[in-house]
Structures are given as structure tokens and as C-alpha cells.
Chain A
Amino acid sequence: MIRNSMEEKEEKNKYSIIVPTYNERLNIALTIYLIFKHLQNVNFEVIVVDDGSPDGTQEIVKQLQQVYGEDCILLRPRPKKLGLGTAYMHGLKHATGNFVVIMDADLSHHPKYLPSFIKKQIETGASIVTGTRYVKGGGVHGWNLMRKLTSRGANVLAHTLLWPGVSDLTGSFRLYQKSVLEDVISSCVSKGYVFQMEMIVRASRKGYHIEEVPITFVDRVYGSSKLGGSEIVEYLKGLLYLLVTT
């Protein structure tokens, strides 16, 4: 009986997966293949928001549309790099689902976790399901000691100061009820890592029901990820900003 009603809900729900890209020609193809592999019998669409990549990312998305259908993969490009927050807003405008998933296209977010996000949301009725690397079943691969130390330090600092009630603040693999994402995103102004943290802290302060699922994070296979001194300074500024505005 419970199973039946869960299946019914699943059928009614539609999931819009927003994937911002910049020079992710190969990664976006692999990601989309994996999304379609792991989301069978689910009503969904992938919205690729490409910020004018010079490497032909849009070209490859068009080819993928030929394979999977233009109604399942929407390409909604923007002329140039305009930032992550506005990329989500841009994608959101074109989303037709009642749920929105945001994820990175660099394969650090594996689409095989999508079913567990969906299942968790249906089981708990949560407004937001966020992927966390820091619980049992989750994890990170490809970070050196320095990167781990920075991450732990940042996390302890944020938890001591903000009491957010969520274990992974800077992760960006999340499922939102569409109306909740629209509400939260409109009040967020930060960029980069801080943007992800601001989203979840504001949502938590607004009293939205947030659940977590474990995810593993394999640092970029193709291309490079960066974390330097300026990111750390930005993070600290963001923390201070959240402290006085939320």
C-alpha cells in the first residue's frame, strides 16, 4: 500500500535538473549519460545553462539532444560567464518540474545518487534534500591533507558560529521543491562556495524542512579545481556576512 502511494507520487512529480557549465564538453556528455542511466521511470528534464563556453559544450549538448530527445535536455545558454547564482535563476525560469535538482557537471557529483535524493524527499516530505559528504556512507576522494584541513577548519568555524543544523554547508548537490528554491535564491547575494552556504543557512533560518543523504565526492577527473588564499578570505567574509544578516 505504502509502496503504491510512493510510486504514484513519483509519477506525478517532475524533476528539473539544472546543470551550469563552462568548458565541460566531455564532462557534460558523461554526466547526462549517467543521469539517464540512473533515472529510469522518473519524469525529469536536464537544463544545461552554459555560459558561452568556447570549447563547444553547447555543440555537444545539441548532439545529446538528438540522442535523448529535445524535450528531455534543454539547452539554455547565456552569452558569457555571469556567475553561479544567476545561472540557477536562469535555469529555474525554464524549469517545468515541481522539484529542482542542482548539481555540478564535473563528475564530482555522481548522478547515481539522484534516486536516493528523490526517495528521501518522498519518504520525509522535505522541502530540501542536501547531499552530505560528512556522514556514514559519504566521503571525498582526491583531496590532499591541506585541502582536508581547510575543509574541516571551515566546517568547524561555520558550525560554531552559525549553528546551521546541516552537516555539509558548502556541498552543492541538492534537491529543492521548486517554490522553495525560488524563495531562497531570491534572497541570496553571495558567490562561489559562500553561495551554497548562504542558500542552506537562509533556508534553515526560514524554517524549511531539510533532510540529508550521504554522497561521495570524487574531485574533478578532467580539468582542475582550485582553492587558494583568496577563496579562504572570501569564505571568511561570507561567514561574517551570514552572521550579521541571517
Chain B
Amino acid sequence: MKHIVKIMALLVALSAFWISLLQTSVLPQSYTWLLPLYFIVSLGCYGLLMVGVGLIQFPTCPHEAILLQKDIVEAKGFLKEKGVDIGSE
């Protein structure tokens, strides 16, 4: 099944649930009418929250950059010794 179909099915299920709530009026109608809006807003909040958390916890590795510089020096030394023309840079 294509992924879009899964997502559509999920949305249809949610809509069906919402319509049934409207029909049966378990909740006051005015609340029920606002539910899709709450859904969209909370989806947006979830997205922003995940981006925010991801940004705060973004894994960095400054130490690796230093290690890489050492590796580069080592590699250049070896290659020069073997006569590989890596330029004078």
C-alpha cells in the first residue's frame, strides 16, 4: 500500500470519528466543531517542539574536527613520503 493511502486512511478514520461525535452530540456541538482546529494546532505544536528539542540536543563533535586535522597531517606525511603528488597546499 502506498504511504499516502495509509495517511489518507488515518485522516478518513479521524474524520469519521469526528462526524460521529457531531451526530451523537456526546460533547457540546460548539466543542466538537473546534476539534479539527485543535488537531491542526497540536500537530503544528508537535512539529515545532520536535524541531526545538532536536535543535537544543543537536549532537556536535568539535573534538572530531581536531582529530581529523591530525589524521590529515599524518596522511599528507605518508603520501609525500611515497611520492604521491598531493600538491603543496
Residues of A within 8 A of B (CB): 25-26, 29-30, 33-34, 59-60, 63-64, 67, 107, 110, 133-136, 138-142, 148-149, 152-153, 155-157, 160-163, 205, 216-218, 221-222, 242-246
Check if B7 is an interface residue, CB within 8 A of chain A. yes
Contacts A60-B85, A245-B2 known; A218 to B64 CB distance under 8 Å? yes
A31: nearest residue on chain B (CB-CB)? B75
B62 touches A140 (CB 8 A): no
B28 close to chain A: CB less than 8 A? no
With an 8 Å Cβ cutoff, the count of chain B residues facing the other chain is: 31
Chain A residues with CB below 8 A from B47, complex form: 156-157, 160
Chain B residues, Cβ within 8 Å of A217: 61
Bound state CA distance, A75 and B4, in angstroms? 42
> What's the dominant secondary structure at chain A's contact region?
helix
Q: Which of B58, B71, B89 contacts A148 (CB 8 A)?
A: B58
- Per a CB cutoff under 8 Å, which of A34, A152, A221, A244 touches B58? A152
Task: Tell me the bound Cα distance from A152 to B54 in angstroms.
Answer: 6
Contact yes or no, A140 B71, CB < 8 A: no
Chain B residues positioned under 8 Å from A138 (CB to CB) = 59, 61
Q: Which chain B residues border A221 with CB–CB below 8 Å?
A: 68-69, 72
Q: Across the interface, do A34 and B65 meet the contact criterion of CB distance under 8 Å?
A: no
Q: Given A26-B87, A67-B82, A139-B59, are A244 and B2 neighbors across the interface (CB < 8 Å)?
A: yes
Closest 10 A-B residue pairs measured CB to CB? A139-B61, A139-B59, A152-B54, A33-B75, A216-B61, A216-B64, A156-B50, A30-B75, A141-B65, A63-B84
Please, how many angstroms separate the alpha-carbon atoms of A18 and B76 in the complex? 22
Q: Which chain B residue shows the least CB distance to A246? A: B3
- CB neighbours (8 Å) of B71 from chain A are 30, 34, 110
Q: How far is the CB of A5 from chain B (nearest CB, A)?
A: 33
Give which listed residue, A133, A140, A152, A245, contacts B51 with CB less than 8 A: A152
- How many Å from the CB of A103 to the closest CB on chain B? 15
The CA-CA distance from A139 to B65 in the complex, in Å, is 11
Contact residues in A for B87 (Cβ distance below 8 Å): 25-26
Closest partner residue, chain B, to A222 (CB atom): B89
A sample of 8 cross-chain residue pairs with beta-carbon separation below 8 angstroms, ordered by A number, consists of A26-B89, A30-B75, A139-B60, A157-B47, A161-B7, A162-B3, A217-B61, A244-B4
A134 touching B51, Cβ below 8 Å: no
B34 to chain A, nearest CB (A): 23
- Contact residues in A for B85 (Cβ distance below 8 Å): 59-60, 63
Contact between B65 and A33, CB atoms less than 8 A apart: no
Contacts of B72 on A, CB cut-off 8 Å? 30, 107, 221
In the complex, what distance in Å separates the CA atom of A138 from the CA atom of B58? 10
A67 touching B51, Cβ below 8 Å: no
Q: Does B86 contact A (CB under 8 A)?
A: yes
- Nearest chain-A residue to B54 (Cβ)? A152
Other contacts beyond A25-B86, A155-B54, A218-B61: 8, CB < 8 A: A30-B72, A59-B85, A60-B85, A63-B84, A139-B64, A142-B65, A243-B4, A245-B2
